[in-house]
Structure 1
Amino acid sequence: MKTLKSLLSIMLVLLLMFSFTGCLHKQNEIAVEIADSKFSAAIYSYALMTADGEARTKVDEQLKEAGTDTTVTEVDYYAQKIEDTDYVTWVENRAIDILAEFAAYEKLFKEAGLSINGEELSNIDYTAQYYYNYYGAAYAANGVGYDTYRYALIYSTYGDMYFEHLYGKEGEKAVPAEDIKKSFNDSYRVALILQKDVTDTDETKLAEAKAGMEHYKEHLLKGESIVEVYNEFNGLTEEAAAATGNTPAKEEKEVVSVISDPDVDANYGVDFWKDIKDIAAKDVKIIEAEENGSKYIRLIYIVDTEKDTTYLDEMDLSLRWNLKQDEYTKYITDYAKALSVKKHKYAMSEFKVKKIQSGY
């Protein structure tokens, strides 16, 4: 899912920013041919938007490093350079690179004899419908209909599935199980986190809040079920459920979180990683923290995952991505660069970088 997640995270930012002006050409005209893959003008539009978003992010980062706050300063993006290349040229080149990566995914996927099954198609359809429901108007304004958006997700799925074909448990370049386990143990924890906001709390109530956390700590160290502790902390009793509809948790997985070093995995990363990474399994730590102007007391209980591999198994593919993403990305990039490219400039001509309008 890493390829798909990356694609979605980029597009969700872009869709609030950009729209193309009117499209006079047919959206299904072939705009670019790369190896055996043919890409319509609509898919080219999709790639151009994605590339433009990447470019804006790079410019923002460059300007931030130079001391310019792009959130309060108007930026002429087209006047900027990225990697010593004019902005517009960089975006156009990157759009072709994106399509070449799609072509590489498709070619390698088919050569490996892989296929998308019914469940995977259902996942693609669900994802496409979910996001197009929210952002379809913006896509349509850019000449990207639902079918085109769904098609882009299929290409990304090719990439995800080929990665698993290479690096999965039974893959050609399978990552050793001991490396997966070490990565999990080094950079992830499964934890019960109880948190109380004490921002505007006086000294008396602050002392009560601390005493309450000490109470839960004592019970956890005595071996009380973390589910029971969670329910007690949150007031989730059968009696309360009748009044509020909030039913008590019943299983450990309902009350714990997988957390990570944010430098390793932003999806699971927590700012307080450095405070908890050395807590032993089945141990508890109470932390006072101040973040974004708010003050908290947190209780962190670390679940023992040595014997129960449930969480390790569930994280398996994500861990493989963490270990091999750079290698895989380089492989795809190099492979894509070697593919033949044929551009149909008439079909591409309606979609130009400087037609992208801000403020959508």
Structure 2
Amino acid sequence: MKILKSLAAYSLIIVLIFSFSACHPKDEVAMTIGDVQITSALYMCALIQADGEARNLIDKNAAEGVENIDYFKQKIEGADYTDWVKNRAEEICKEYAAYELKFAEAGLEISEDTQSEIDFYTDYYWNTAGLGKFYEKNGVAFQTYKKFFTYSYKAREYFESIYGKDGTNPVSEEELKSAMDENFVLVNQLYASYTDTDGNDLSDDAKAEIKQKFESYVTRLNNGESFETIYNEYNATDDNDENDDNNQDGQDASGQPEESTTSNEDESDNTDDTPKPQDKNAIILGDSDTNFASEIFSDVKAMSPGEVKIIEPSSSTGIYLIVRKDILSDPYYLDYLNLEILKLLKQTEFENMIKEYANSLQFNKNNYAVNRFKVKKIVQYEDVYNE
């Protein structure tokens, strides 16, 4: 009996030894790509991104009105959902390694200004936007999230080091101007919605009154009155306080995203040397492939500079008054839109180059570390905040 007890105790010790040795250590290396080590937490970041991309693809292709999709029963590009996510996560890790290596190879460094931007946005997304709780539920700490977030900045700076003005293969100013003129228009714009604040259609009489007002503005503009005068008059009208949506494209008066105040600050505050547009009331409208995509881009593109027109797109529940301007006449916009234009011209070429380089790197995967992460176990953002 003593022998049996001793054997049982010995067996228990062996089991415990193997159990403890099977624990996953902190910062376990999941993959080594080139000489870049991808920790298990970084891999989880890639898996989360891949899962988000997969869900967006399925949502985009789903029939209108379909809800409660079982994503794990769907196929993407012929692959099962889980397989597609895992393969995409692996691609993301390879891209991460490629950008890390190319960034260092080019002798680039994150500037103080860029680092400040990274610090601001990672803190904002983690704490204010609530991503911190979501990532922590999935086993990712703030510093890992920040490290993963930073690689997109390295990608951008490496891209500019090739195609930018001082890059190794710069795009000519003529090509930039041509692409800007093709994909963007500059306008003065008034917009009025044909719905009330609850989303209900206005009466026909109310719509006719709005259109009549806009037609009177067209007459005044064609008679030489300034847009600024009409703009200020329109926005000072009490009954437009809730109905006006002049910046409905998510831009401020200069055409920049609303969170930016680079060129739409009060003139009394503009004591620095920050470049500013010639017309503070002008905004940018872009083609569908740009970050300034507008439903009326094609209509405005067909107008001549200086032309004034009312546009009522069939897909919209509102009315626009547009004065088309010449975007090439203000040098501010070639500089402001530089990166956006470069991406339109060179992003595909750049991504193909990075993909080819990434696939050429030696790749070693720690299956023991990787396989513990299950796509079905990813805690979704909405689940975190519905607890």
Task: Return the TM-score normalized by structure 1.
Answer: 0.81
**Cα 1:36–1:291, aligned 2, differ >3 Å: closer, same or farther?**
same
Is the Cα contact below 8 Å between 2:184 and 2:286 reproduced in 1? yes
**Cα 1:148–1:70, aligned 2, differ >3 Å: closer, same or farther?**
farther
**AA aligned opposite 2:304:** A
1:69 shift after superposition: 5.0
**Cα 1:208–1:54, aligned 2, differ >3 Å: closer, same or farther?**
closer
Q: Deviations over 1:176-232 (max 9, x none)?
A: 211111111112111111012234444554443223212322333344433332111
**AA aligned opposite 2:78:** D
Q: Distance in 1 between matches of 2:141 and 2:221?
A: 53
* 1:314 counterpart residue number: 336
**AA aligned opposite 1:209:** I
**The one of 160, 164, 187 aligned to 1:164:** 160
* 2:312 counterpart residue number: 288
Q: What secondary structure does 2:329 align onto?
A: coil
When Rg is computed on C-alpha atoms for both structures, the one with the higher figure is 2
**AA aligned opposite 2:113:** E
Q: Distance in 1 between matches of 2:203 and 2:78?
A: 56
* 1:74 counterpart residue number: 69
1:117 matched to 2:104? The reply is: no
Q: Distance in 2 between matches of 1:70 and 1:58?
A: 16
1:102 matched to 2:96? The reply is: yes
Q: Distance in 1 between matches of 2:79 and 2:292?
A: 35
What does residue range 151-190 of structure 1 map to in structure 2 within 5 Å?
151-190=147-186
Greater strand fraction, Structure 1 or Structure 2: 1
* 1:277 counterpart residue number: 301
* 2:258 counterpart residue number: none
Q: Distance in 2 between matches of 1:205 and 1:82?
A: 47
Q: Distance in 2 between matches of 1:168 and 1:104?
A: 20
Gaps of 5+ in 2: 1-22, 196-200, 242-263, 268-276
* 1:41 counterpart residue number: 40
Point out the more displaced range, 315-324 or 252-261.
252-261
* 2:350 counterpart residue number: 328
**Cα 1:84–1:211, aligned 2, differ >3 Å: closer, same or farther?**
closer
Gaps of 5+ in 1: 1-23, 241-246
**AA aligned opposite 1:74:** I
Q: Distance in 2 between matches of 1:152 and 1:318?
A: 23
Report the aligned-residue RMSD.
Answer: 2.7
1:271 shift after superposition: 1.2
**AA aligned opposite 1:72:** E
Larger RCO, structures 1/2 (Cα 8 Å, 6+ apart): 1
* 1:91 counterpart residue number: 85
Is the Cα contact below 8 Å between 1:227 and 1:249 reproduced in 2? no
Task: Return the TM-score normalized by structure 2.
Answer: 0.75
* 2:365 counterpart residue number: 343
Q: What secondary structure does 1:113 align onto?
A: coil
1:30 shift after superposition: 1.9
* 2:136 counterpart residue number: 140
Point out the more displaced range, 119-128 or 24-33.
24-33
